[in-house]
Structure 1
Amino acid sequence: MKVLLTDYLSVVTSAPSGIKRTRELVLQLAVMGKLVPQHSDDEPARELLKRIRQSIRIEVTGKVESKGRNRRRDQVEFELPSSWCWTKLKELVLKSESGWSPSCENRRREGTEWGVLKVSAVSWGRFLPEENKALPPHLAPREECEVKAGDFLISRANTAELVARSVVVEDCPPHLMMSDKIVRLVMSEFVSCHYLHIFNSSRFARTYYENSAGGTSSSMKNVSRQQILDLSVPLPPLAEQRRICEKVDELMVLCDRLEAQQSEADAAHEILVKSLLDTLTRSHDSHGFLTSWGRIKKNFDILFATEASVVLLKQTVLELALMGKLVPQYPNDEPAKDLLKRIRDERKALGVLKRPSGRIAAEGSEPFPIPKTWQWATLGDTVLSSEAGWSPACEQRPCIAGEWGVLKVSAVSGDQFKPEENKALPSTLEPRPSLEVRPQEFLIARASGSAQLVAKSVIVNECPPRLMLSDKIVRLRFSKFVNSKYLNLYNNSTFGRDYYERALSATTTMKNVSREQILNMPIALPPLSEQDRIVAKIDEVMAICDELIEQFVAANGKKIALLDCVIANG
């Protein structure tokens, strides 16, 4: 097993969550007796257990208590080395006790004040004494609940992932007490608290707690003290317990080092990729662009070897397209300046009132230079009409076939239209058919709980009947002289996001932009034919990038399969 893990360590640790799962593998091997060698002169665990029982008999009442020798089979047990034996945690414990949870002040204790530990103090594998609340001065502390160095603490209430996590207290400031959700186990001198912490952190113990924990939600699970004490434990000889702890510490330090190296390498790679891509967007002429692209092309397979780097590439390609640097300009294309005049004539012919044009940056201070055939405009300059929807009090469920529904902002906040994100209109209310959403419409959310999602837009490819706009969704109808897909790309680009981040206002829970702010967004408008070429090229490049990402996902899947194989054969 050690040879297999060493041979494939670079592959295993480079898998998604590979280092995290390598840590889990180390714990698994440790508690199965496969991490360190067994020594023939070690006192067998069965003899050790006799000594522990004798110490417990002396400690408690002078006679041996029944310790539940008929072991429940609710925990997966595995074959152990001959010098090991299975036992229950309660057979290793001299005493168990929980703390006290008075009504505390909502602040951390200061100086020599007394404090009560929160469960977060013992939830992360190491003791965090700063996770406490101050005991009010009118309450007398309970000194018997004070935590001391060497204590073995375990939480009996937390999330499903963190419930029953343990720590060994290496050092503790004075005047900190356990809460009633923390259990202290006082162990026999013939067992290592650090070894029990290793086992309690392993997937074998975690599976037991997942099956034992009560509670109605994943946000708060509970285990009783008795359930903790009923944990089945593989007990090695005491000398081997100590060797296991030393080896686990050694390997965890190695994992920490690998994790730090990987993080540094990932960060450096991202900076390199971003810096080289930025040279493309900052180039001022074709010579500079081609020189920068030459550097990237020469090292493409090295630069774009991760999903994150390809995501950066997609973003840069989109920015280049919207700056006029991705597809060629043709002299026969009708200039955007003339295009805007056609749109104004179209609006006039349709009887659309002229809207005041939003202010565009003065010449020379535009966000970026654009080709001669392009024109700076506002989104509103391309719009024939805009309208928001209606938000009646709806039922707390999606509509079913035949019913009317009202779209939630989440229907238009992602990369694609999601018609299933709706609420059913009550049968007592009359629908408003004029607000029904239809295919090919351009929708934009003017409010969201996230600044990153407010004013995100979608083009509706398909839509079931009888779904209406809410008042937080705006529908824009564009002139026939613009490509709505180009405007959707621009609205969702970094240029659009930068504009909206400056424009948005916020309440405590909701970020908002007004319809007027949406219409006043500056856009770099190309000739119509070039808009079409840009949309087609973006579709082509994004498809290639998505294919690259799929290859990375497949490769990562193989790494995960290898890691699973290594763990399964532990």
Structure 2
Amino acid sequence: MTRFGAALQKIDERIPGVGLPLMSVSQTKGVVPRSELTNTPQRAESLDAYKVCRKGDVVFNKMKVRSGAMGVAPEDGLVTYHYEVMRPREGMDARYIVHLMKSSWFTSELIARERGISAGGEHGGIRTTEVPFTVLRTIDVLLPEIAEQRAIADYLDRETARIDTLIEEQQRLIEMLRERRAAAIEEAAEAVQTKGQRLKHIIRSVRQGWSPQCYAWPADGIETWAVLKAGAANGGLFRPMENKELPETETPRPEIVVSPGDLIVSRANTRDLVGSAAVVDGDWPRLMLCDKLYAFTLDETQALPRFVAVVLGSRRWRDMIELEATGASPSMLNVSQADIVNLPMTLPALDDQRQILSRLDEQTAKIDALIAETERFIELARERRAALITAAVTGQIDVREMV
């Protein structure tokens, strides 16, 4: 056992105006050219402040160490200040170092040292902590001789590649199943015409919510007051836990509480999600609409709310909604109440709607069960991958016996 800092040297090389490719760190791909992960152009006016990483350097994202965002640089390149660049000292194999850092054992040692580290901010709703090399270097680690490091790295490279290939195959299967699910929805919506009657002809009332300053955490919406978030209708499913708890200092507004059977529609979201529709399922007496959601009460002598939600999620109606959406930023587009209620929608008879929903439910239930089973398989494969890495770098398995 020795200090992690003995294996690596921190590098902070900067060459203004140098013509090197921009590099990024992916949890699954390691260090790769930024162009492989995104087509979005670089926003920085100057690259002078960027760090240089050389081929063979270990690079990690200081804010995503625990999630495994690290790897070995395949070529010289430039990285942002969010990344730490470390160069293996003599007698150290960079691949072994990366596997060691990805082990659950190393992560547990890191967690023990995170207390007292300044918070790095919130990303995607998850609180992150910036972990500099000055913290990592204090961890006591197993550093065998270089020949054994290479043997362990070779073994893990081979075995993790097999697991990663298996995971990719299962992810492709999930994509195919989701395409099949989408096709079933399209088939269900074929019975609806895009001419004649408008959606407003089957709407009895419309409500819009309210967005006060709330706590960041969700509430149950039954005993405790809460305000739904815009994502409560994403994917065509009502998601009651997509909410924020209402502070005690705010007075609740019972008139905007959702009711069973309400058709809720997102009026503000990304292009793919704006106009997402779902039906409130269950009784939520203290769950209120936010101002980014509409709640429509339908005339159920003409329309089943779930059937209308299915239609709104189909490609023909998605195209119409996205065409009407406006906004200065692609990350937040808006559709007006008029845009929604004036959508053309001539529905079949109620009995036909029920039969179509019954067939759709039967199809999607089977597909959803297969997706859930495949996702569980992927989860187990990832757990196996993590356990294998930890066992190898901590000496629990002897890789010399592995063929």
TM-score, L = length of structure 2: 0.68
Matches within 5 A, 1:19-418: 86-88=1-3, 96=9, 99=12, 109-110=17-18, 126=31, 134-135=47-48, 157-161=62-66, 165=70, 167=72, 172=76, 182=84, 187-188=89-90, 191-194=91-94, 197=97, 200-201=100-101, 203=103, 205=106, 207-213=108-114, 214-217=117-120, 219-225=128-134, 227-228=136-137, 231-236=140-145, 240=147, 244=151, 247=154, 251=158, 255=161, 259=165, 306-324=173-191, 376-383=196-203, 385-391=204-210, 393-396=212-215, 406-418=227-239
- Which residue does 2:335 correspond to in 1? 513
- The offset of 1:415, in angstroms, is 3.4
- Which residue does 1:525 correspond to in 2? 347
CA contact (8 A) 2:236 2:309 kept: no
Match for 1:386: what amino acid? S
Q: Distance in 1 between matches of 2:289 and 2:383?
A: 45
- Which residue does 2:258 correspond to in 1? 437
Q: Is residue 484 of structure 1 aligned with residue 298 of structure 2?
A: no
Per-residue CA deviation, residues 444-484 of structure 1 (Å, 9 max, x unaligned), is 22222x22222222222222224444443323233313323
- Which residue does 1:459 correspond to in 2? 279
- The offset of 1:505, in angstroms, is 0.8
Q: Distance in 2 between matches of 1:89 and 1:147?
A: 22
CA contact (8 A) 1:322 1:524 kept: no
Per-residue CA deviation, residues 191-220 of structure 1 (Å, 9 max, x unaligned), is 245466456555255554454453435534
Q: Distance in 2 between matches of 1:532 and 1:224?
A: 61
- Which residue does 1:31 correspond to in 2? none
Q: Is residue 541 of structure 1 aligned with residue 363 of structure 2?
A: yes
Q: Distance in 1 between matches of 2:83 and 2:377?
A: 43
Match for 1:187: what amino acid? R
Match for 1:309: what amino acid? M
Q: Which has the larger radius of gyration?
A: 1
Q: Distance in 1 between matches of 2:226 and 2:387?
A: 48
Task: Report the identity percentage.
Answer: 17
Match for 1:216: what amino acid? A
Q: Distance in 2 between matches of 1:177 and 1:310?
A: 37
State the SS of the aligned residue for 1:388.
Answer: strand
Q: Distance in 2 between matches of 1:406 and 1:518?
A: 22
Pair 87,195 (structure 1): closer, same or farther in 2 beyond 3 Å: farther
CA contact (8 A) 2:215 2:247 kept: no
- Which residue does 1:493 correspond to in 2? 314
Per-residue CA deviation, residues 400-451 of structure 1 (Å, 9 max, x unaligned), is 76776544433334533344425537666574x5444322222222222x22
Provide the alpha-carbon RMSD of the alignment.
5.0
- The offset of 1:386, in angstroms, is 3.2
State the SS of the aligned residue for 1:455.
Answer: coil
2:325 to 504, 507, 521: 504
Per-residue CA deviation, residues 201-253 of structure 1 (Å, 9 max, x unaligned), is 552555544544534355342245475265433322x5x3586389469849x
CA contact (8 A) 1:200 1:206 kept: no
Pair 419,546 (structure 1): closer, same or farther in 2 beyond 3 Å: closer
Structure with more relative contact order (C-alpha pairs < 8 Å, separation 6 or more): 2
CA contact (8 A) 2:170 2:378 kept: no
State the SS of the aligned residue for 2:130.
Answer: strand
CA contact (8 A) 2:84 2:133 kept: no
Q: Distance in 2 between matches of 1:561 and 1:246?
A: 19
- The offset of 1:513, in angstroms, is 0.8
Per-residue CA deviation, residues 142-188 of structure 1 (Å, 9 max, x unaligned), is xxxx97968856669443337995647x7658xx8997975665734
Q: Distance in 2 between matches of 1:376 and 1:565?
A: 60
Match for 1:379: what amino acid? L
Q: Distance in 2 between matches of 1:178 and 1:552?
A: 36
- The offset of 1:518, in angstroms, is 0.5
CA contact (8 A) 1:98 1:183 kept: yes
CA contact (8 A) 1:388 1:471 kept: no
Match for 1:518: what amino acid? I
Q: Distance in 2 between matches of 1:178 and 1:496?
A: 42
State the SS of the aligned residue for 1:386.
Answer: strand
Gaps of 5+ in 2: 36-41, 121-126, 398-403
Q: Distance in 2 between matches of 1:157 and 1:394?
A: 31
State the SS of the aligned residue for 2:362.
Answer: helix
CA contact (8 A) 2:233 2:264 kept: yes
Pair 466,266 (structure 1): closer, same or farther in 2 beyond 3 Å: closer
CA contact (8 A) 1:99 1:183 kept: yes
- The offset of 1:322, in angstroms, is 2.0
State the SS of the aligned residue for 1:537.
Answer: helix
Pair 387,234 (structure 1): closer, same or farther in 2 beyond 3 Å: same
CA contact (8 A) 2:264 2:296 kept: yes
State the SS of the aligned residue for 2:259.
Answer: coil
CA contact (8 A) 1:119 1:158 kept: no
How many matched pairs? 368
Match for 1:109: what amino acid? G
